[in-house]
Amino acid sequence: MQNKKAIDFLVAGVQKAGTSALDHYFRSHTEISMGRRKEIHFFDNEALFKDQMAEYTQYHDFFDWSDSSSLRGECTPNYMYWEPSMHRIFQYNPKIKIIACIRNPIDRAFSSWSMEKNRNNEPLSFIEALSNEPERYRSKLPKQNRNHSYADRGFYSEQIRRIWRYFPIEQTLFIKYDDLLNNRTDVLHHISQFLNIKEFPHTEFINVNPTQYKSAISKKDKEHLLKTFQYDIKQVELMLGWDCSSWLK
């Protein structure tokens, strides 16, 4: 049953794909009230769902409910990747709208590895981390690997299917990261139409949490990942009607 008090939309993905910029844009809009912090991590928190159904009061405490006319949303890019999240979100509010910004999975994987490297949370080189990812994944079973899932997070087609398994296509909006970088006005216009709000006041790109790259991805590593992702990229093209040829170069 849908809650009388419920969040209207979620930015559910993906990690390292401009979600901090989207969160910034939403916070600048007078018709939107975002959660008190970015990445509340409610629907991917296993401890909260150990009894299957979480207590939503704790979640709602992150939001201001004083203005009944505001749309309320939050941004946790792990929701799209975390397998139980969409079912939990559907149980919470089947009418919620889902937004996801998707990035070239090769660039996303390297950016994610660089982030963990900068946090001193990754002792391995990029190619070593990719080679060890299956074993790291198995070590976390039956859960997913939250921090060292560089390649696994890039298989978008199954994640999109999981969203559509619970939510109608018209309740979802997928944004290409390249468009957020290069065609911000159009992207924000589409978001305003999707949420049925007035246009956004700012269109300049805000790089809120830039990743500091200590090295560049090698040609060999890029070719390895291209072989890894090429089939899934083709699936994403078909599902979303996108041209992802630049991802395949």
The domain that holds 70 is classified in CATH as 3.40.50.300
CA distances from 158 to 80, 153, 164 (A): 10, 10, 10
More confident residue, 51 or 55: 55
Give the list of residues 6+ apart from residue 61 with CB closer than 8 angstroms, or none.
Answer: none
| DSSP run (H or E) holding 114 | helix 105-118
pLDDT of residue 143: 86
State mean pLDDT over 163-177.
98
pLDDT of residue 15: 92
State mean pLDDT over 173-201.
94
State mean pLDDT over 158-164.
98
| DSSP run (H or E) holding 189 | helix 184-195
201 pLDDT band, cuts 50/70/90, is confident
Say if 3 falls within a structural domain. Answer: no
pLDDT of residue 209: 63
Say if 187 falls within a structural domain. Answer: yes
What's the number of domains the chain is made of? 1
Please spell the DSSP secondary structure of 23-41, one letter per residue.
HHHHHT-TTEEE-SSS---
More confident residue, 150 or 143: 150
State mean pLDDT over 89-104.
97
Give the predicted TM-score (pTM) of the model. Answer: 0.92
25 pLDDT band, cuts 50/70/90, is very high
Domain encompassing residue 147: 9-248
CA distances from 101 to 10, 21, 31, 130 (A): 11, 11, 21, 23
Judge whether residue 210 has pLDDT over 70.
no
If phi > 0 it is left, if psi is from -120 to 50 it is alpha, else beta; for residue 49 that is alpha
Judge whether residue 72 has pLDDT over 60.
yes
Say if 1 falls within a structural domain. Answer: no
pLDDT of residue 147: 87
1 pLDDT band, cuts 50/70/90, is very low
Judge whether residue 185 has pLDDT over 70.
yes
Say if 144 falls within a structural domain. Answer: yes
Q: Which of 5, 3, 60 is nearest to 35 (CA)?
A: 60
- pLDDT averaged over the chain? 92
Say if 198 falls within a structural domain. Answer: yes
Interatomic CA distance for residues 10 and 72, integer angstroms: 9
Interatomic CA distance for residues 65 and 48, integer angstroms: 22
Q: Which of 111, 103, 123 is nearest to 214 (CA)?
A: 111
Query: Among 1-10, 67-76, 168-177, 224-233, where is mean pLDDT lowest?
Result: 1-10
State mean pLDDT over 232-244.
97
Q: How many beta carbons lie within 10 A of that of residue 17, not counting itself? A: 26
State mean pLDDT over 65-70.
90
208 pLDDT band, cuts 50/70/90, is low
Judge whether residue 178 has pLDDT over 80.
yes
Say if 4 falls within a structural domain. Answer: no
Q: Which of 108, 4, 89, 17 is nearest to 49 (CA)?
A: 89
